[in-house]
Structure 1
Amino acid sequence: MSYKTVILEKEDGIAVLTLNRPETLNAWNAEMQTEGVAALEEVDGDDAVKVLIITGAGKGFSSGADVRQELSLTGKTPWMETVTGRIVSGKPTVVAVMLKIANLGKPVIAAVNGVAAGAGFALALACDMRIASEEARFNMSFLRRGLIPDCGATYFLPRLVGLGHASIVVFSGDTIDAKEAERIGIADRVVPHTDLMKATKDLATKMAKNPPIAVRLAKKALHQGLIEPDLASHLNYEIYANSVLMNTEDFKEGVNSFLEKREPTFKGK
């Protein structure tokens, strides 16, 4: 399937989803929200794709919602085409994008190539990992517009960096450079700008070699571990997941390859 506001490329088990509105620093308009959800559904349904990378075209990762389209009070944009209006009418939104990423049974890596602001910042937070260029910048200045951070930002951010750092980010509205983002835990790695995609694809290549069923259950375990009420409940889930996996062909391949001292070849069965 072809898209206009996003580019989806697939090769060797890795999909790269590029937000493609560089003239707006990849701001989310109505069309990109629709195509973003469709592209994620395509990735989810493609068993050949093992890992997803999300990045932005041009100088930015994503500057957030397209403010020109969101300012429906000017009368230039119908209210039903704003994010809130689209949610009410059941149309795909950037909020749906966050849910798709969180529920995708495959690792999702954000390759943050420039500014990540507002909903763009939230998009990076929704991904499982964030590799940032030295030129990456993060900003969450919702309060300066009379709003609170949305699109899952207040859900993901404190879980990543703790309540203290999250509060500083939200209440100060300061722009965070790549070095500081790595220090407080927003960015997992920072690399030279020219090395961003290579470093991200190298990491994705390693992950793509893992057994898909185990990856899906491991991702669920990691996310579930953040909300489980107690350790015993989570231990029970781990036991359940491994009991399922022990009946797969990939488990047998993993054991045999270890005993035979060779690299495993997983089939997702």
Structure 2
Amino acid sequence: MAVHAHPDDESSKGAATMARYAGEGHRVQVVTCTGGERGDILNPKLADDPEILRDMPGYRRREMAAAAAALGVEQVWLGFVDSGLPEGDPLPPLPEGSFGLEPLEVAVGALVRQVREFRPHVMTCYDETGGYPHPDHIMSHRIAVGAYEAAADPTAYPDAGEPWAVQKLYYDVSFSVDRVLALHEAMQERGLASPFAEWIDRRGDRPRRTPTARITCADYFPQRDDALRAHATQIDPDGFFFMVPRDIEAQVWPFEEFELARARVPVADGLEEDLFAGVVPEGLTLDEAQR
């Protein structure tokens, strides 16, 4: 189960890993916390499209369905309202009723219900920074960690289904400084203009995360790219995400990275190559989970 804030986040974060596991026969579910209702149209080719302007929420739902199909995954909506990205100094308050203002126990309860229904062995989510400081990303992190803990607790949310103990929780740290630098340098070595120079100047000194799992998934970059293109309002097919030649990416950085945040099963030392390493296929009993 991968917990994401908005439709399109799943296609830019850990998408090839999900496509790989789905292709290998695992059930994979994306939980999208909000409908992305307040997203801007970021693809200039669609800026004045009357259908999108008339029904952004409906259009983004159709985009999400196409992206899920491209990745071969299941997808559900958690049902909260996009907070939008506040801008200005000072920042304006979040819109009333938006996801970032939901009581934590309400949002956690909604995800607990989904966890107990789907019964995942592994969950992925954002780290405590949200990956970047969008209120919905930070809230997604908070409820994923909360649901990981609460879903296994029979005293928590007793009306949300039978308890289920997720065995491992990972933060997706795929969009790392190390990855950006590796791709940037590879393009420069080949005499190509890198799209990352400005990003490195602005964010290259941000704290580095320590990945504990590295999933080889270059064979599934085409599915990831198809999913990205499905989110046509958010992803310009001639833009940033497609500026690195895929043969260079597959050679230099053919994997996605994750950081283990919680585990209820023993984890071996060293860098994992499989998020399911060490999981108990039949699931943990509540006694095992508590131990």
* TM-score, structure 1 as length reference: 0.31
Structure with more helix by fraction: 1
* TM-score, structure 2 as length reference: 0.29
